[in-house]
A and B are shown apart, each in its own frame.
Chain A
């Protein structure tokens, strides 16, 4: 059903990165878990207002790298990051940077939908409330707008104030999590395999949503699903894992090119499904 659709984003994609600047610059990044190096020597530029997909086998460090962009790796006591991640030119690992501030600017949507066990309204209002928005009408406005933008509004508009987020379907929960992330008005939205727990129809709705959001946000999505990467992203980064379990970036380029004429043999083998 979406076979033809993949041509659509592909065309619009080719202009998007060129039209806007670079949002995130990664330079010589290494990530360690204790003494083990999980990711080595990654440098890349991520274009603003476009979708960048990270693909590669399990353990190749793509999720680990993603979580460097909002400093969520800080929460793992043994994790250390060397190198720099520049957000609009400023190193988010700089000495004066508060991780909390970074996470306001860079949102994260998790693999498994993780709404809070509260009402739909309170889920979306959670972030703004924590950042000091207490005016009722302002909150109402943010909640409605976020639910509309995440394409959930029509399904929940009658009872979103009272209905528990846990009563929603998995796909609806994930769109709620996206709404919740948008409610704090981030610049970047990271998505860590956002559809892996969802059925194909729910997946397609999220993919449609990602396309729309790319007009406003810089989106980086980790996915195991190569069709998904080719459908939603303008740029694709392919990662591979060494025998010593260290992940690294193999190549990065316009999605169409990475999938049809990759520079590296390993990329070609992977995207053509030769590794299963």
Chain B
């Protein structure tokens, strides 16, 4: 009996130790970059233009990151939700369904640098677009779409069968049931999924190196709405270094005198943004859950 109790204590201790280790590593990363950013970070760093001779800012780069994020979500969210609905509600059992599911899993596990090279061949060279925000967004779509579809599918499957049958028993059609009962109940899960993938898109570097490119207009004119003009911040056809790519570039080939500080501070911004996405996803998911179930 005492041995059992001892084993119980040991197991609890070991599991606690691992949990603390995980939290500790995360904490160390965050603290490291936050400390490194002290002294460099300012509001003008967030919104200012990059400079080779001074600390400058990351305004255009931050813009690019958000721009590509929004563009990617615009493409993946509707398609991913549609795919998820198909997989959860309409796909029967069979070879086709198995093949789709296998493809989804395989694409999600392709290393993102390979997706980047694929994007280079297709969205940069074959299209003659050169490096563009759109090319980057499409490359991100390649592995984000299956993920989005899978998340939607899981959220739909988590809706209790009771609610579904309740609707069908009232003579509602399958689509009415999906549209008015299943989908609303799955929304919190889907939104949480969207925000979590947004964090991943925001931090992605490898897939964007060869698609969105390493350069960016050094200053944006936000009054330029000419979508065909590669210098316009609104155009999907401008080269668009994102924050992660920018950090990689600074570390590998940065030459200015403040490269270290800029890279560290940019990393701090990136880490905080991704953290915000993750915490935001949880908060939003919970809030929506409450809203949906008590509306």
A117 x B294 contact (CB < 8 A): yes
Q: Spell out A's residues near B (CB within 8 Å).
A: 70, 72, 75, 100-101, 103-104, 107-108, 110, 112, 114-119, 122, 126-127, 130-131, 164, 166-167, 177, 180-181, 184
Instruction: Determine whether B162 belongs to the interface, using a CB cutoff of 8 Å to chain A.
Output: yes
B294 x A164 contact (CB < 8 A): yes
Q: State the Cβ distance, A22 to closest chain B Cβ, in Å.
A: 23
Chain A residues, CB < 8 A from B170 = 103-104, 107, 126-127, 130, 180-181, 184
A72 x B165 contact (CB < 8 A): yes
A101 x B294 contact (CB < 8 A): no
Chain A residues, CB < 8 A from B181 = 116
Interface centre among A75, A112, A114, A184 (most CB of B within 10 A): A114
A104 x B171 contact (CB < 8 A): yes
B171 x A114 contact (CB < 8 A): no
Q: List 28 A-B contacts (CB under 8 A).
A: A75-B165, A75-B168, A100-B171, A100-B172, A100-B173, A101-B171, A103-B168, A103-B169, A103-B170, A104-B170, A107-B170, A108-B169, A110-B165, A110-B166, A114-B162, A116-B181, A117-B292, A117-B294, A117-B295, A118-B295, A127-B170, A130-B170, A130-B173, A131-B171, A164-B293, A180-B166, A181-B170, A184-B171
In whole angstroms, how far apart are the Cα atoms of A114 and B171 in the complex? 15
B162 x A110 contact (CB < 8 A): yes
Chain A residues, CB < 8 A from B167 = 116, 126, 130
Q: Spell out B's residues near A (CB within 8 Å).
A: 160, 162-163, 165-173, 176, 180-181, 185, 292-295
Chain A residues, CB < 8 A from B166 = 110, 114-116, 177, 180
Task: With CB as the reference atom, state the residue of chain B lying closest to A126.
Answer: B170
Q: A164-B294, A166-B293 are in contact. List 17 more A-B contacts (CB 8 A).
A: A100-B172, A103-B169, A108-B169, A110-B166, A110-B169, A112-B162, A114-B163, A119-B295, A127-B170, A127-B171, A130-B171, A130-B172, A164-B293, A164-B295, A166-B294, A180-B166, A180-B170
Chain A residues, CB < 8 A from B176 = 130
Q: State the Cβ distance, B290 to closest chain A Cβ, in Å.
A: 10
Q: State the Cβ distance, B172 to closest chain A Cβ, in Å.
A: 4
In whole angstroms, how far apart are the Cα atoms of A72 and B164 in the complex? 12
Interface centre among B162, B165, B169, B293 (most CB of A within 10 A): B169
The list of the 9 closest CB pairs from A to B, nearest first, reads: A104-B171, A114-B162, A127-B170, A108-B169, A103-B171, A117-B293, A164-B294, A130-B172, A114-B166
Chain B residues, CB < 8 A from A164 = 293-295
In whole angstroms, how far apart are the Cα atoms of A107 and B169 in the complex? 6
Chain B residues, CB < 8 A from A180 = 166, 170
Chain A residues, CB < 8 A from B185 = 117
B168 x A72 contact (CB < 8 A): yes
Task: With CB as the reference atom, state the residue of chain A lying closest to B293.
Answer: A117
In whole angstroms, how far apart are the Cα atoms of A110 and B165 in the complex? 9
In whole angstroms, how far apart are the Cα atoms of A177 and B165 in the complex? 12
In whole angstroms, how far apart are the Cα atoms of A72 and B168 in the complex? 8
Task: With CB as the reference atom, state the residue of chain B lying closest to A101.
Answer: B171
Chain A residues, CB < 8 A from B165 = 72, 75, 110, 114
Task: With CB as the reference atom, state the residue of chain A lying closest to B292.
Answer: A117
Q: State the Cβ distance, B231 to closest chain A Cβ, in Å.
A: 50
In whole angstroms, how far apart are the Cα atoms of A112 and B166 in the complex? 11
Chain B residues, CB < 8 A from A177 = 166
In whole angstroms, how far apart are the Cα atoms of A70 and B166 in the complex? 12
In whole angstroms, how far apart are the Cα atoms of A175 and B177 in the complex? 22
Chain B residues, CB < 8 A from A184 = 170-171
In whole angstroms, how far apart are the Cα atoms of A130 and B169 in the complex? 12
In whole angstroms, how far apart are the Cα atoms of A101 and B171 in the complex? 6
A127 x B293 contact (CB < 8 A): no
In whole angstroms, how far apart are the Cα atoms of A115 and B181 in the complex? 11
Q: State the Cβ distance, A79 to closest chain B Cβ, in Å.
A: 14
In whole angstroms, how far apart are the Cα atoms of A70 and B162 in the complex? 16
Chain A residues, CB < 8 A from B293 = 117, 164, 166
